[in-house]
Amino acid sequence: MNAHVPVVVIGGGQAGLSVSWYLGEAGVEHLVVEADTAVHAWADKRWDEFTLVTPNWHCRLPGYSYDGPDPDGFMTRDEVVAWLHGWLETFEPPLVEHTRVTRVQRLSGDRFELTLDGGEGVRTLTCDQVVIATGGYPLPVIPPFAPSLDSSVHQIHSEEYFNPQQLADGAVLVVGSGQSGTQIAEDLHLAGRQVHLAIGNAPRVARTYRGRDCMTWLADMGLYDTPTQEYPGGRAAQEKTNHYVTGRDGGRDIDLRRFAVEGMQLYGVLTDGKDSTLRFAPTLTDALDKADAVYNSICGDIDRHIDAHGIDAPAPSRYEPVWAPESDPTELDLAAAGITSIIWAIGYRPDYRWIEASAFDGGGRPMQTRGITEVPGLSFIGLPWMHTWGSGRFLGIDRDAKHVADHIIDGIRSMRPHLVAAQ
C-alpha cells in the first residue's frame, strides 16, 4: 500500500465498487478500502427468507446486469449474493479488505489524510480525492427507553434477525412498518408465531396492478429517473419510509389488515415503555387508512398513464379494506401477552463523526448534489435520494457512480493529466 494514492473509495459494497469500476476503466490509480469483505452486508445483514422487493430486471451494475430466466421475479438473499460475486469476477478492483478507515482529515494543499486500522495495524494514507461509500445511514436506531424494559425480553435490531428459530418460544413484537418490519412480521407470521406489530406512517403499494408489477409501471412513468428537486412532494416525500410490499414466493402485497384477520395484533406508533408496559399513540386506524390511500393513489397514477398512452391492460380496481380496528390500542403488557422478543425495525441514523470536513447539515447528513460536496475532493455514493428515487438501489447505482467517477476523472485530468489513461 502506497503512502499516497490519488483516489480512495471507502466502502466495498456495490456502490463503492461501481465507482471503482469506472475509475479502473479510465486508468485512474485508486484504492477501495473495506472494513469487512466486499458486498458482505447482503450475506450478513439480511434474514434467511429475504427477497428483493424490486424486480430482477432492476439489477444493473457497471458492465453487468441481471440476465437470468426470471426478469420479473425477485432474487432471494443468496441469489443476490451469487449475482454480486458474479459481477466481481468480471473485473479486479484494487480492494483492501478487513481494514477500517477511522478518520478522514483534510490537510492543507487539498489533500486528505486517512487513518486506517487493519491487519497491519494503525497507519495513515494520503489522497487527493475521497469517495465515501459506507452506505446510507449505518447506525441502527434503538429507542432510548429500550434499556428500561423487562430484561427477560430479548431485544434485537432488524439487521440481527435471521429466522424465527433464533428467537425464544413465545410471542414476538416487531416495531416498525417499513419494508424490513413488515416482511419480518410476515416471516414470523408464516412460521406460526404470534406476532404483535407496531406500525408507523409507512405507505404501501400493490405488488401487481393491471397485469404488471407496479414498480415496472413506475419505471415506465419515469418516477425512478426524476431528480430529487423535481420529485412530487419535495423533501417531505423523500423523508418518508419506502412503501411496503414483498417479493416473497414470487411477489405479493403485504396487507396488514389481512394479517390482523389471521391473528396478528396491530398497534399504532410505540411512544414509550418501562418494565413490562408499552404505550402507543392512538394512530393505528389513521396509519392503515393512509397506507391504503397511497396504495390506491398509485393505482390511480398508473390508470392515468395507461389512458394517456392508450395501453391495452386489464380493468382498473381499488383496494377495499378487509378489516378495521374497533379502537386504537394504547397499551400492551408484554408479560400478559407472552412476548419474549422484540425486534426493532425503526431504521438507521447517520454517523460521519470520523470525517473531519464541513460537509454535513445539522442532522449529520451529507450536503451534496449528485454525490458531490462543496468540499473539494470529497464525494459520496450510495445515499438514498442522492439524485433520484432510484439512488441507493440497484437501478440507480450505475448512473450515480458514473457521475461521481466522471467528476473525479475530469478533476484529475485538468490538474494531473498523466494520472488518467488516454481515452
| CATH number, domain containing residue 266 | 3.50.50.60
pLDDT of residue 240: 66
Full domain range(s) for residue 360: 4-138+350-419
Q: Verify that 338 and 282 share a domain, yes or no.
A: yes
Rg of the chain's alpha carbons, rounded to an integer? Answer: 23
| Same domain flag for 25 and 150 | no
pLDDT at 423: 46
Domain boundary among the residues 320, 344, 368 is at 344
Please report the pLDDT score of residue 227 as a whole number: 83
Residues 373 and 392 occupy one common structural domain: yes
Identify the CA nearest to 37 among candidates 17, 55, 67, 21. 17
- Cα dihedral sign, 224-229-232-233: positive
What distances in angstroms separate CA 267 from CA 162, 174, 201, 262, one per listed residue? Answer: 24, 10, 12, 15
Same domain, 181 and 89: no
pLDDT at position 304, please? 98
pLDDT at 269: 98
Domain boundary among 344, 366, 396: 344
Domains held by the chain: number: 2
The model's pLDDT over 172-219, given as tens digits with 9 standing for 90+, comes to 999 999 999 999 999 999 999 999 999 999 999 999 999 999 999 999
Same structural domain, 336 and 399: no
> Closest by alpha carbon to 182, among 242, 270, 138, 236?
242
Residues 318 and 359 in one domain: no
Helix ranges restricted to H, 198-326: 214-220, 234-239, 256-261, 284-309
Query: CB-side exposure of 398: number of CA atoms within 13 Å?
Result: 12
Q: Do both 98 and 111 map to the same domain?
A: yes
Q: Which of 312, 344, 376 is the last residue of a domain?
A: 344
Question: Same domain for 299 and 358?
Answer: no
190 and 82 assigned to the same domain: no
100-107 and 355-356: which strand pairing? parallel
The pTM of this model reads 0.93
Residues 345 and 158 sit within 8 Å (Cβ to Cβ): yes
Domain check: are 364 and 264 in the same one?
no
Domain check: are 10 and 155 in the same one? no
- pLDDT string in tens for the chain (423-residue length): 569 999 999 999 999 999 999 999 999 999 999 999 999 999 899 999 999 999 999 999 999 999 999 999 999 999 999 999 999 999 999 999 999 999 999 998 789 999 999 877 899 999 999 999 998 777 899 999 999 999 999 999 999 999 999 999 999 999 999 999 999 999 999 999 999 999 999 999 999 999 999 999 999 999 888 888 787 776 666 666 789 999 999 999 999 999 999 999 999 999 999 999 999 999 999 999 999 999 999 999 999 999 999 999 999 999 999 999 999 999 999 999 999 999 999 999 889 999 999 999 998 899 999 999 999 999 999 988 888 877 878 989 999 999 999 999 998 887 766 556 544
Between CA 101 and CA 381 the distance in angstroms is 16
Q: What grid cell was written down for 344?
A: 426493532
Instruction: Please tell me whether residues 288 and 390 are part of one structural domain.
Output: no
